[in-house]
Structure 1
């Protein structure tokens, strides 16, 4: 049974999530503050976290930052904060998705399913090392190790998914809606600003000259392309 850790101090919301998750066959664990959540992750190893940003001790961003230092468990952030900056910060720290309150239960359940699918290992490629090399880059897609000119570069989980989606189709145009659906889920197909933000971050990290990229190209209004 898939185990979902709900991290929230709102009793009404916790009750709603517990009822709906159990009705869909998930086992539910609850933590009402950030420190307890980190302890539960270490001891019980849940399959996914639903994490509120507004917690009574550590805020959700701090929990996410500490969690991502050692753990890649999928995390869906819940927040009443609607600004793009808050969303980008959470996603950049390694959240798999960001849901603003109030939200529809069915939408949240769909995003949980999408995050769990993204985290699943494809058995056909589990033992196959996939390494992409150029004159300046070495990208190990299996071990998630990135080197630029021999120097290690840290990429977030979302950045890795974008790198993988592009590098597995070398030279091919990958359309915006295809990338948004593959990386964030079908409800994000019109959120093209996510791609602009993340592609800018990837170029800063992986291109020698981000203003004149050699590998990660934008086809304006259409999509993106990786050229080895």
Structure 2
């Protein structure tokens, strides 16, 4: 009998105007993600300006990399990592993807689902696997916040003799955050990564509003001008 594996990707809102969420996401990304993943198409000072973070706060709390001379990275530097690509490939089997590109290629729903889909799997090198990314080469870096999940398989048989297998995850060991708190943490990280993928979207949306407003005003003016020109003909 055929067996079907079901995995539904959860929807995740993104609100790049919510600076509090973006700041929290930046904090968690710095502490848990940016040690291995670069964001090499973004600069610290640009992110700081957009998120309302001062240069002193960036230097004191959010910049932990150094340049070739061993000095702390400058606020105008690109957000790279100290880990070389050669070492990363040896350690993980693949170079960790750049965070400033990942959301554009995968989408926010995939990122959100991925960060909530780790579960224990002793057959894997890091002891974990992921429903959204089977045989993933990344450890569950947020395990202390979420805790540990286990995979639960449910098999149901329909009226035609076909078996349908549905996989779900259950929390087996709680972390330092409640499920609701961890969900908010993942949403904040996803929101920050959505911002990283296109920092200009904040200005783009504002500009788009005024462009649409201009077009509406222009349409109204053009409509009455057309009526004035054609009133004698009609």
Q: Which has the larger radius of gyration?
A: 2
Same fold at TM > 0.5: no
TM-score for the superposition, normalised by structure 2 = 0.22
| Structure having the larger proportion of residues in helix | 2
TM-score for the superposition, normalised by structure 1 = 0.23
Higher relative contact order (CA 8 A, sep 6+): 2
| Structure having the larger proportion of residues in strand | 1
